Structure 1
C-alpha cells in the first residue's frame, strides 16, 4: 500500500518542482499575444480559460488509455508503478509540454509541421503519414469498443452504433471548438477524474491490499518487461498521441504561462489516474494470474465493469458504462479533428481551388471514411498496431524538442535523454513484437541496441555541428 501512496506523492511533487524547471528552460513570454488572439478565426483559434483547457486536454489525451493500458500493464505487477512515475514526470509530461508550447510558438502548428522545422522535410513527410494513420487507428479502435458494448446492452445493432458514433464525430470535427468540445468536454473530463478517485478511495477503504514494490516480473505469460511494458502502458507514462492533440488546446491558450498547467498538469493528472487503475487491477482479483483470466473472459472493459460495480455498486455500474462508452468516443472525435487539421494543411499546398469550409469538409471526409471502415473489423487487431505507432510518434516528438532546445542554446538533455530511452524502446519492440519482425528476444535486444546507437550518433553529430557553427558566429561577431 505504501508504494502506491509514494508513487502518487512523487507525481504531485514532480508537477510542483520539475514542471517549473521545464518551464524555466523553455522560457515563457507572457507579453506576446498567443495564436488564440493573433490567428482568431472562430473555429479552431478561440481563447479559452486554462482550467477549461486543462479538462479538455485531459479528456483528449486520456479517454480509456489510462484505464485499459493500466489494466493490461498491471499484469507485470508493481514494477508498473515505477514506469508510470518516471515515465510521466521525465518523459510524458515533458513530451506533452513541448508539443503544446512549440505549437503555440509556431502559430498553432500541427505536430508534423514542427517535426519538419526541426528534423527536416523527409522526416516530416514520414511522420505526416504515421500521425494520420495513428489517429485513424485510434478513432477506429475507440469506436469499435464502445459500439460493441452498446450492441450488448441495448437493442441497437453494432453497425448502427458505429454509424451513430461517426455522425457525432462529423459534428465535433466540423463545428467550432467552443461549440461541442469546449462545452461538454470539461464535464466529461470531470467524470473521468471522479471515476478514478471514487475507485481509488473505495479500494483503499476496502479489505483489498495494494501490493508493495517488487522488481520481479509477475506477468503470468512470462512476457518480458522490457520493452513491452513501455508500450503497453503509454497513456499515463508517455504517449505520442498526445502530441497530435496538444495543438488543439495550444490554439486556445490565453497566455504562455497557462501551458504548464494545461500540458504538464494534465499529463500528471493522467498519470495519477493510471496509477489508480493499475493498483485496482493488480489488487482486486488477488494476483496477476486471476487478472489475466478476467481479461481473457471479458477483456479490459469487463475488468473495468467488475471492479467499478463491485467497489461502487450501482454508481459504479453507471460510471463504468460512461467510461467504456463515452470516454473513448471523446478521444476518437478529437483524433479525427486533429487529423483533419493535418490533412487540410497538406491539401492547401496542392489543392488551391478549395478554401475555408469546403477544405474543412474535404479534410474531414478524407480521414473519417477510412476510420469508419476500419471500425467494423476486430478491435483487438486494431489495438495491436496502435501501441508501437503511438510510441514512435512520441519518440520523434522528444527528438524535435531536443533539437529545438539545442538550436536555441538551451539545456536539451530534458528532452534528449528521454528521447534516447524511447528510441531504445521502439527499436527493440519492432524487432521483438509479433506485429513487428517477431524475432528472438536476445537478437531483438542486440538489433534494437545497435539501431539506437546509430540514432544517438546522429544526435551527437548534431551537437558538435551546432557547437562549430556557434563558435564561427561568435568569432564573426
Structure 2
C-alpha cells in the first residue's frame, strides 16, 4: 500500500476531530473567557506568568511530546502498521486530547493546582496520599527511561557502509567496532543541546524583560537552532553512554533550580523550532516519498509476530504506543507548569486539546516514516536484536536518513543526524520538566505525611531535587529502554486513567456531565492493570528456583508491584467518593421532584 493512503486518512480524521470535539467539550465543561485565570490572579513573575498563546503552546508541546510519540509507534510496528495507526487516531481524539484538556481546565478552576493537589480536594486524604506516591513512582520511571533514551541518542552510531559514508568523509566522525567502520550520529546533537541551553537565558530575558516582538523572537530562535547544529558538526562532543548518564543527571539537577522563564521556557521555545522543523520535514518528506510510489515495508498486521516480540496485542499494543495516543505525564505538565501561564480559559482548547492532536500527527508521521523507509530486516536488527538491547531512536533516525536521501538527495548520514536532533530536543525538554515536577511531588508528599510536625531537611528543595535525580539514576542504571518501556507505558497511561478519575469526581460533585472522562478512565485502568499483572508474572522465576524474581528484573518488578498497589488504593477511594457523590445527586433530584412547591 502507498504510504500516502494511511497518512492522509489519519491526518484528515485528526483535523476533523480538532475542529469539532473540543468545542463540544468546552460547552460541557463551561469554559468562559470572562473568568480570570490563575496566571493573572496569582501572578508572581516566577511560576505564574501570563504568556502569549503561541509561546505557551510551544512550551507545552515541546514538554509533552518527548520521545514517546516517536519511540512508541516505532516499537509498535512489531504488530504491523495498521493496529498502531488505528490506536493512534482513536486514542488521540477520544482519550489523550480529552485527558489533557479536561485536566488543564479543572486545574485552572482550582487556582492552578497540580493534579495531585486536586486529588486531595476531590478524593480526600487517603486518596491524595496514594495518588501522590503513585505519581512519584511513575515520574521516577519516566525520568529513568528518558535519561536512557537521551544517552542512546547522544551516543548513537551506525555502520558507515549503510550510512553511505565514503572513506575520508568529513560529515561524521568514525570509529571501528568489532572490525566494522561506524559513523557517530549522536555527537552533533550533544553540542546542539549545549549551545541551545547556553542561549536560553538571553532569549528568556528578551521575552519577559524586554518584550521583544514575536516575529523577531522567532528569527532569533531559528538562528540559534541553526547555529547550534553548525557548531555541532564542527565540534561534536563524544562521550560514552555511561558518562552521559552522569552528565545529564548533573545538568537536570542544576537546571530545575532556575525560574521557569529563565531556562525551561525559553529553551523549549528554541527547541520547538527544531521540533516544528522536524515535523514539517517529516510531513513533506513522507508526502514526496508517497508521490514517488513508495509503499510500506511493514506488513498491514503481524499479530503473531508482535505477540512473540512484545506480548499479546491486548494489552501490550496500547501501552507500547504510549504517548502517541494517551499519556498521563501530560496532566502533570498541564497542571504543573502550563496552566500557570495561560491567560484565557478558551486556551485549554487551543493548548490542551490541539497540542495532543499535533502529537498524534507526530506519532503518525513517525510510524509511517519508519514503516515505509526502513527495510524490515534492518528494523528487526536495530529494534529487536538478539542481545535485547534495542535502539528504537536509531531506527527512526536511520529511516529519516533513508527517506531524505530518496526524496531530496540529502546524504543518509546527514538525514540521520537530523532525526537524532529532533528526538534529542524532545527528550531533554521532558527530562527538565519531569525532574522539576518530581521535586514538587516529593515536597507535597512530605508535607502531607508529617502534617504540622517539623520535617527539617525534607522541606528543602535541594534535598528533594537530589532525591529525584538519585532515584532516576538508580533505575536508569538498572534497566534498559526495552525492559522498562512496558512498565513506563502502563504506569504513564495509568496516570491518565487516575487523572481522568479525579476529573470525573470533580465534575460529578458539581453536577456536570462526565461520560467523556469516565469511559476512557475505565478502559485505560483495565488495560494498564492487565499489563502490570502480566509483566509481574513474566518476571517471576520458575517454580522450584532458588530466586523469586528473574535475575536483573528485581527493580522493575518491585516498581510494577508498587504501582499496582498504589493504583488500587486510588481507585478504591475514587469509587467510594464517586458512589457518595452519585447517591447525593439522586437524593437531591428525588427531593426536588417530591417538593410540591416546585
Q: State the TM-score, normalized to the length of structure 1.
A: 0.88
* Structure 2 residue aligned with 1:97: 101
Q: 1: distance between equivalents of 2:521 and 2:134?
A: 18
Q: Which residue of 2 aligns with 1:114?
A: 118
1:123 aligns with 2:127: yes
Q: 1:466 to 1:212 in 2, by over 3 A?
A: farther
SS in 2 for 1:46: coil
Counterpart residue number, 1:406: 508
CA distance in 1, matches of 2:304, 2:375: 13
- How far off its partner does 1:117 sit? 2.2
**Aligned partners of 1:274 and 1:4: how far apart in 2?**
11
Q: Which of 14, 21, 26 is equivalent to 1:23?
A: 26
User: Residues 9 and 435 (structure 1 numbering): CA distance in 2 closer, same or farther, change over 3 Å?
Assistant: farther
Note if contact 2:397-2:417 (Cα within 8 Å) is conserved in structure 1.
no
CA distances 1:107-136 after superposition (whole Å, capped 9, x unpaired): 111111222322333222112111111112
Q: Cα deviations across residues 10-35 of structure 1 (Å, max 9, x unaligned)?
A: 11111110011111111113222211
For 1:471, the equivalent position in structure 2 comes to: 589
Residue 85 of structure 1 aligns with which residue?
89
Q: 2:315 matched to which residue of 1?
A: 227
Could you list the per-position Cα deviations for residues 73-129 of structure 1 after superposition, in whole angstroms to 9, with x for gaps in the alignment? 122221211111111111100101112111111111111122232233322211211
Alignment-derived partner of residue 343 in structure 1: 442
How far off its partner does 1:240 sit? 1.0
Is the aligned partner of 1:366 residue 2:467? Answer: yes
Q: CA RMSD in A?
A: 3.1
**2:521 is aligned with 1:432:** no
Q: Distance in 2 between matches of 1:55 and 1:155?
A: 30
Equivalent residue for 1:300? Answer: 392
Between the aligned partners of 2:537 and 2:63, the Cα distance in structure 1 is: 27
Equivalent pair of 2:153/2:394 in contact (CA under 8 Å):
no
**Which SS does the other structure have where 1:122 is aligned?**
helix
* Residue segments in structure 2 that go unaligned for 5+ positions in a row: 157-183, 185-236, 405-409, 542-567
TM-score normalised by the chain length of structure 2 = 0.71
Greater radius of gyration (CA):
2
Pick closer, same or farther for the CA change 1:218–1:382 going to 2, 3 Å.
closer
2:403 matched residue in structure 1: 311
Following superposition, the deviation at residue 437 of structure 1 comes to 7.5
Question: Is the CA contact (8 Å cut-off) linking 1:63 and 1:327 kept in structure 2?
Answer: yes
1:161, 1:191 → 2: CA distance? 22
Query: CA 1:218/1:384 → structure 2, altered by over 3 Å: closer, same or farther?
Result: closer
Aligned residues: 463
Query: Is 264-273 or 136-145 further displaced after alignment?
Result: 136-145
Partners in 1 of 2:453 and 2:54 — Cα distance? 38
Partner of 2:517: 415
Q: How far 1:4 sits from its partner (Å)? A: 2.4
Q: Is the 8 A contact 2:369 2:400 kept in 1?
A: no
1:403-459, CA deviations, whole angstroms, 9 ceiling, x for partnerless residues? 2222222221111111121122123223333576889xxxxxxxxxxx9xx989879
Q: Which has the higher helix share?
A: 1
Gapped runs of 5+ residues in structure 1?
A: 440-450
Alignment of 1:176 with 2:275, yes or no, is no
Query: For residue 42 of structure 1, what is the aligned residue in structure 2?
Result: 45
1:247-326 equivalent positions in 2, closer than 5 A: 247=335, 248-287=337-376, 291-297=379-385, 299-312=391-404, 313-314=410-411, 315-326=414-425
